[in-house]
Amino acid sequence: MGFRLNFNSDQYIDPNKSYMYCPNHGSLLDPFVLIALSKKPIVFVGKKELARIPVFGFFYKRTVILVDRSSAESRKRVFKMAKKRLQNGVSMAIFPEGLVPTEDVILAPFKKGAFSLAIEFEIPIIPQVYYDCKRFFSWDVFKGRPGTLRVHQYSFIETKGLSLVKDMRILKDKTFHLIYNELEKDAEYMKDTNRKR
């Protein structure tokens, strides 16, 4: 598609461990970036509505654990399927915003699913920041272009010994603020750079 990846990581993956990847979501390109960066299998959890998108939906429903967020039964099924996959040393990926926000939103509020699963299975959270996917491959067909996609993988956030009741919200907020602050800083930098041109 004409994209290149510029990947920086604060900490590297142990191939014998499972992780919960939590990147920001700005574009349909995001899952493909994560797959390209990963050295081991990843199971995605995603909302079932996306399976209706032509072409994309065909592949999506064959590779993703689908969840209907309005159904408690569906959420239980996700936990069961996730447990089975994680026992095989596979990592998981959930875009915690649960949607692709509009152009003017830096980062949408996080849902709790990724953090509940990470605590339940005691797997570290891997926060990833995707700076350019929204700019280069947006929902607006008149915007975008090939280019270099910058990705920063932050140090893992451990979940061992955390409690769903006491710590889930703290874990969610910590991950949100880390990603939000980085995206906000980058947005200001891009504005300044464009002004100077």
Calpha distance 186→51 (Å, rounded) = 32
Weakest mean pLDDT among 14-28, 67-81, 112-126: 67-81
* pTM across the whole model: 0.85
Q: Is 118 helix (H, G, I), strand (E, B) or coil?
A: helix
pLDDT above 70 covers a percentage of the chain that reads 92
Tens digits of per-residue pLDDT, 101-120?
888 899 999 999 899 889 98
Buried/exposed code over 116-135 (b: 16+ C-beta within 10 A; e: otherwise): bbbbbbebbbbbbbbbbbbb
Residue 179's pLDDT band (cuts 50, 70, 90): very high
- The CATH number of the structural domain formed by 4-196 is 3.40.1130.10
Calpha distance 36→172 (Å, rounded) = 26
> Can you read off the two tokens belonging to residue 129?
């920041």
Residue 141's pLDDT band (cuts 50, 70, 90): low
Tens digits of per-residue pLDDT, 79-97?
777 777 776 678 889 999 9
Calpha distance 26→137 (Å, rounded) = 9
Average pLDDT value over all residues in the chain: 86
Give the length of the chain. 197
CA 196 from centre of chain = 32
